[in-house]
Structures are given as C-alpha cells and as structure tokens.
Amino acid sequence: MKTLLTGGAGYIGSHTAVALLEAGHDVAIIDNFANSSPEAVKRVELITGRQVSLYEADCADKDRMMEILGKEQPDCIIHFAGLKAVGESVELPVEYYRNNIDSTLTLLECMKASGISRFVFSSSATVYGEDNTPPFTEDMPKGVCTNPYGWTKWMQEQILTDAQLAGCREKGGWKAPLSVVLLRYFNPVGAHESGLIGEDPQGIPNNLMPYISQVAVGRRDHLTVFGDDYDTPDGTCRRDYIHVMDLAEGHVKAAEYALGHEGAEVFNLGTGSPYSVLGMVEAFSRACGHQIPYEIGPRRAGDVQDSWADAGKAKRILGWEAKRGIDEICRDAWNWQSHNPKGYE
Ligand code: NAD
Ligand code: UDP
C-alpha cells in the first residue's frame, strides 16, 4: 500500500512513517514545516533503511496538492497536518480555523478530482467535551469543546462524515466510494525506542510529558502541577497516556482497514488506563533516576478532570491494542530527551 502522510514530519506522523515502512508499505510525506524539521524524515529513513518521498508544501495549496496526488497516486491519505497548540488557538482562532479546516477541504477536493478515496484522520479525545464521563465510547454524543483547536477537530469530523455520506452515493461525483477513518487520540507520549525521533515542541511546552522531560534534562527548573484539588485519588487530573509507537501501529491497522471497507468509522486510540499528573511525575522520576522537582499551582482553564478511552472497538474491529506500559513510555521519552536535549536543533 502506498500512503501519503500530510504533516508526516511532525511528532506522530514521523513515528507512523516508521511503523508503515516497517510493515512493508510505501510512504510519501507532505509538510510545510510550520512545526517540524526535515531532519525528522532523514531519521525515519535512518531507522528503517527505506526511502521516503518528501514534499515541502502547504496542504491548503490546491495546485500543489493536485500535482503531488497526481504524481504519487497514493492508496490512502493519513491527514496529520494541522496546528495543535490549545492555548495558541485561543489567541489565534482565525489562523487555526483557516489552517486546519482549509487543509481538510482542499485535500477532499483534490482526492475527489484525483480518484483517491481512502482517508484516515487525526482527531482527538477533546471532541468528547466536558459532559461525557469516561471511559469514553465512540457512540457517545460529541460534546462542547473548550477551545478553537478542539472545535476544528469537531468540525473536521463533521465535514469528513458528510463527505463520506455523499461520496458513497452515485451522484456524489466520487470515482470510488469514500472510506473515512476518524482516529480519536488520547494522550500520545514517548518516543521511538532508538531515541532518534521524538517530540520536539517549539518554545515552552504546553503538554505534560515534554515539560517533565525538559525539567529532567535541566532545560527548565521545575514542573508546575495545574491543580491538586480535583475529585481524584491524589487530587490531580487523570489522562490516558499512550505510547506514540502504539499509536503509530494503530494507524497501520486503520489504513489497512480503510482500504478494505466503505463508510465513516470512528476509533478511540488509547490504552483504557488512566494515570494522574503526580503518577506521571513518579514514573518519569523512576525512568530518569532522579526526582522531578514540582510545585502545585492553580488549575489550568479549560482542563477536564478525567479523560480515558474505552479501547474495545479498535481491538474488536482493527485487531489493535496498546502494548507498551507507562515504564516503557517514560524510558523512551527519557532516551529521546537525554540524547537530543535540544530536539532536532
Ligand atoms: P505536530 O505539530 O508535530 O505535527 C503536525 C505537522 O503538520 C507538523 O509537521 C506541521 O509542520 C504540519 N503542518 C501544519 N499545518 C500544515 C499545513 N497547512 N500544510 C502542511 N503541513 C502542515 O503535531 P502531532 O502531535 O504530530 O499531531 C499530528 C496530528 O494529530 C495533528 O492534527 C494534531 O492536532 C493531532 N492530535 C495530536 C495530539 C497530541 O497530543 N500530539 C492529540 C490529538 C490529536
Ligand atoms: N499539566 C500540568 N502541568 C503542565 C502541563 C500539563 O499539570 O505543565 C497537566 C494538565 O493540567 C492535565 C495533564 O497534565 O491535567 C495533561 O495535560 P496535557 O496538556 O499534556 O494534555 P491534555 O490536557 O490536553 O489532555
């Protein structure tokens, strides 16, 4: 299978490229490097010993997309490209809606014109909103998002579901029935076990694991824990942290599934086991061999107390489940961070 990864130089895309290549599939990548480096793709080639076709392009550039899709003729597109910083999306909502929604609409138009009909999309557990109670199942109603980034995921899911409905009707204009797989990620963390690729956030990390990793390596002096007065056993929020290589392998299964099925299917990609913020601090301290210093701060606006997956549907239908535990997650995150203290720089 030939797969085209938009945003494939980024954190999840680069790990998925490794998993696809190792499963024997071919990979082409489109990225505008808004939040990544071409170095990540070189390292994917180093890990796998395979070549990747790399295009520097913006997914919202219709002419370029037509040219690349025409040249590559992929069997399946996995659409990672997007802006993803929650806080920044509150400051720059127009830029977030423009980038994230435009790239999906442009890709759909180009796919339709090029006869490509298999699409896997990077969605997020954030679409469950604040009112559902975990474990989240795919049949729960989508909730109210707390920021523009979350709404872009919510809206892209809707656009893709509507396009799939039209794309399975004879008059939809699609040359082949459209197949859409919506993957709702929980909290992707960790790195490839080689330590050659990993998460490389620009500026001050927003997310817990890269922040802890930078404290561990001495780039920041302590972690601030956002609230210890939640209604949980240790008072801190709980999340479903999933090893990025487990997530990557979930994409291989999802792309293979998209090839053989029609329709729009939603899958959670999570472990089903929550960890608290303080639980993650302790696990990372074990992995790096010293205590991560932290202090308790106020709650962060927009945080939900609890979020974790019911991971049963992906296991039943895709035959996929997360295999790596919290100690492997922290070991691999530390291996990446300690060997690349400044990321790909
Ligand atoms: P990332 O920022 O590392 O990767 C996204 C990539 O897309 C980057 O390489 C960036 O340069 C590229 N990009 C952005 N806009 C583009 C455009 N218009 N054209 C071409 N390239 C563009 O992020 P990631 O963590 O790898 O996330 C991948 C996807 O998964 C994103 O859509 C993100 O919203 C989604 N997601 C991520 C998480 C997470 O915690 N990391 C959780 C849920 C969903
Ligand atoms: N968190 C924290 N300090 C930080 C970053 C995050 O205490 O510097 C907490 C955050 O409040 C949340 C959890 O860690 O409870 C996971 O946050 P992250 O941003 O990684 O994921 P999300 O909240 O988007 O699921």
Report how far ligand 2's centroid is from the alpha carbon of 232 (Å): 15
Q: In the block, which residue shows the tokens 């494939």?
A: 8
Ligand 2 and 187: CB distance under 6 A: yes
pTM here?
A: 0.98
256 neighbors 120 (Cβ within 8 angstroms): no
Per residue in 294-316, pLDDT (tens digit) is 999 999 988 999 999 999 999 99
Ligand 2 and 48: CB distance under 6 A: no
Nearest alpha-carbon partner for 249 in 1, 17, 9, 4: 17
Identify the pLDDT of residue 220. 96
Nearest alpha-carbon partner for 277 in 327, 232, 244: 232
Identify the pLDDT of residue 324. 98
- The yes-or-no answer on residue 294 being catalytic is no
Instruction: Considering every ligand atom shown, identify the ligand nearest to the alpha carbon of residue 197 and give its number.
Output: 1
Within the chain, how many helices (H) and strands (E) appear?
A: 11, 13
Candidates 149, 230, 257, 275; catalytic one: 149
Mean pLDDT by 10 residues, the chain (345 residues): 98 98 98 98 98 98 98 98 95 98 98 96 96 97 95 98 86 84 98 98 94 96 98 98 98 97 96 98 98 97 94 98 98 97 92
Q: What torsion do the CA atoms of 170, 176, 181, 182 make, to the nearest 10 degrees? A: -60
Report how far ligand 2's centroid is from the alpha carbon of 168 (Å): 40
Identify the pLDDT of residue 173. 81
Instruction: Considering every ligand atom shown, identify the ligand nearest to the alpha carbon of residue 189 and give its number.
Output: 1
Report how far ligand 1's centroid is from the alpha carbon of 231 (Å): 32
Q: State which of 12, 136, 307 you would mutate to test the pocket of ligand 1, scoring each by most atoms of that ligand within 8 A of its C-beta.
A: 12
Phi/psi at 123 (nearest 5 deg)? -105, -165
Ligand 2 and 73: CB distance under 6 A: no
6 neighbors 78 (Cβ within 8 angstroms): yes
Phi/psi at 216 (nearest 5 deg)? -60, -35
Q: Which amino acid is at 49?
A: G
Q: In the block, which residue shows the tokens 């809606």?
A: 97
Report how far ligand 1's centroid is from the alpha carbon of 83 (Å): 6
Residue 308 is inside which H or E element, if any? Answer: none
Half-sphere exposure (Cβ direction) of 204: Cα atoms closer than 13 Å: 8
- Which ligand 2 atom is the nearest neighbour of the CA of 212? 8
Ligand 2 and 300: CB distance under 6 A: yes
Which residues form ligand 1's pocket by a CB distance below 6 Å?
6-7, 9-13, 30-36, 58-60, 80-84, 99, 103, 122, 124, 185, 188
Identify the pLDDT of residue 332. 98
Ligand 2 and 225: CB distance under 6 A: yes
